[in-house]
Amino acid sequence: MSNIVAIVGRPNVGKSTFFNRLIQRREAIVDAVSGVTRDRHYGKSDWNGKEFSLIDTGGYVLGSDDVFEAEIDKQVELAIDEADAIIFMVDVESGVTGMDEDVAKLLRKVNKPVFLVINKVDNGKRAEDAVEFYSLGLGEYYTIASINGSGTGELLDALVEALPEKEEVEEETLPRFAVVGRPNAGKSSFINALIGEDRYIVTDIAGTTRDSIDTKYNRFGFEFNLVDTAGIRRKSKVKEDLEFYSVMRSVRAIEHSDVCLLVLDATRGFDGQVQNIFWLAERNRKGIVVLVNKWDLVEKDHKSMKDFEKTIRKQMEPFTDVPIVFISALTKQRIFKAIETAVEVYKNRTKKIKTSQLNDVLLPIIENYPPPAYKAKFVKIKYIMQLPTPQPQFAFFCNLPQYVKDAYKRFLENKLREHFDFNGVPISVYMRKK
């Protein structure tokens, strides 16, 4: 499980520019996901072979001093609580502000690596001006210019060196199914209905689950660990932002799961926050099952389910090969169908295709539909194999891998899905030099 690094600071210091530059320059990054509240972003990065999740806490709501202080207390303390390291970004152009001092006051109490990063330092004069930030009491600082990437390498070298080593998780024989979703979607109610007892706190108030809890499930021939990841802990000095906190908790839970059961409220639909968590799971290459809960509350006719599913798949594009199950945790409608589907997705994710079978099926298709020629050069794919990874990854060996475009890779992925059933599972396709 990778570390979490949070970027904090006041508005307009360049946090999002730094975040975007970082994820664009890392080959291992899958992409960023924009949050729906205050322009937050979530992504994965790696530097020198060390992977970590990156969270940009976004801008704060501007208004009175009281409103701003509330936002600092809320978001920075939440980030501090969940992150393994914190990047505190300030702006050399405006110098030390009262807002910076408020954040620094919180960070001085933290027993975690804190990196003071001074942005917009793109010449010698500004490098001299940066000295005043010693007054924040956070020790040494790093100067960067996020607009052009200057100084980023030195910062990331220090960051990955300071990140705590994650203990290797012992290989578990039981798969882990994480129940994720936005607050008050019915995650705990679903688990209670499934295990037949009120193991969890269930109310109509969003965020009543105190922490992520594992339950070993062993009924009707299924055995796995079930995790409720609502994960909203009441902390005495934290004014909670439930959506922000639920996503931060979901980052850890998703990374340490095999299949994510994404529970959404049918009365709210596949909204921005649900999409945010969906793409977190997809970019972590986890199996996904979408559970449309509270289906009993929706007025419907004979076409409602089909139309609802069509709308969801449109918002999932391009990854639409995902099972969608309509359930009601209250009436227990289709809850066991949801588990059967999750088990099938887990089997798909751990499926291994014989090399001979891959080549026998796909090489004739590739021969009939080869990659388009590029600059009068023809790409010839000679050999295919599945890589020995926890999730499905395939290497296509050819003479000119650099000329194979994303559109053709999607064609290959679609053929893999068509012939080998990877429903609910992200697939990675790599072109390699033969």
The tens digit of pLDDT for each residue in 245-288 reads 556 666 777 877 899 999 998 888 888 778 878 888 888 889 99
Question: Does 59 carry a binding-site annotation?
Answer: yes
User: Is 193's pLDDT higher than 70?
Assistant: yes
Tokens of 141: 């600082």
The tens digit of pLDDT for each residue in 398-414 reads 998 888 888 999 999 99
Question: Does 120 carry a binding-site annotation?
Answer: yes
What does the alpha-carbon distance between residue 238 and residue 240 come to, in Å, rounded to a whole number?
A: 6
Q: Which residues contact 291 (CB under 8 A, 6 or more apart)?
A: 190, 261, 262, 263, 264, 325, 327, 338
Q: Which residues contact 76 (CB under 8 A, 6 or more apart)?
A: 8, 57, 103, 106, 107
Percent of the chain with pLDDT over 70: 77
User: Is 75's pLDDT higher than 60?
Assistant: yes
Question: Does 293 carry a binding-site annotation?
Answer: yes
Question: Does 14 carry a binding-site annotation?
Answer: yes
Do 82 and 6 contact (CB within 8 A), yes or no?
yes
Question: Does 166 carry a binding-site annotation?
Answer: no
* pLDDT at site 359: 95
What does the alpha-carbon distance between residue 276 and residue 253 come to, in Å, rounded to a whole number?
A: 14
User: Is 426's pLDDT higher than 90?
Assistant: yes
Do 247 and 277 contact (CB within 8 A), yes or no?
yes
Identify the CA nearest to 133 among candidates 118, 120, 150, 122: 118
Question: Does 121 carry a binding-site annotation?
Answer: yes
Percent of the chain with pLDDT over 90: 26
Question: Does 284 carry a binding-site annotation?
Answer: no
Q: Which of 129-133, 374-378, 396-400 has the lowest mean pLDDT?
A: 374-378
Question: Does 232 carry a binding-site annotation?
Answer: yes
Overall size of the chain counted in residues: 434
Question: Does 12 carry a binding-site annotation?
Answer: yes
Cis peptide before 401 (omega within 30 of 0): no
Question: Does 272 carry a binding-site annotation?
Answer: no
Burial code (b: 16+ CB inside 10 Å, e: under 16) for 204-225 equals eebbbbeebbebebeeeeeebb
* pLDDT at site 116: 93
The tens digit of pLDDT for each residue in 166-188 reads 655 444 568 889 888 877 788 87
Identify the CA nearest to 87 among candidates 161, 155, 157, 12: 155
Question: Does 428 carry a binding-site annotation?
Answer: no
Do 88 and 103 contact (CB within 8 A), yes or no?
yes
Question: Does 184 carry a binding-site annotation?
Answer: yes
More confident residue, 226 or 402: 402
Do 174 and 259 contact (CB within 8 A), yes or no?
no
Question: Does 60 carry a binding-site annotation?
Answer: yes
* pLDDT at site 198: 47
Identify the CA nearest to 178 among candidates 45, 277, 35: 277
User: Is 420's pLDDT higher than 80?
Assistant: yes
Tracing tokens 């799971």 back to the chain, one arrives at 281
Work out the widest C-alpha separation in the chain, in whole angstroms.
70
Distance of CA 223 to the CA centre of its chain: 26
User: Is 366's pLDDT higher than 90?
Assistant: yes
Question: Does 271 carry a binding-site annotation?
Answer: no
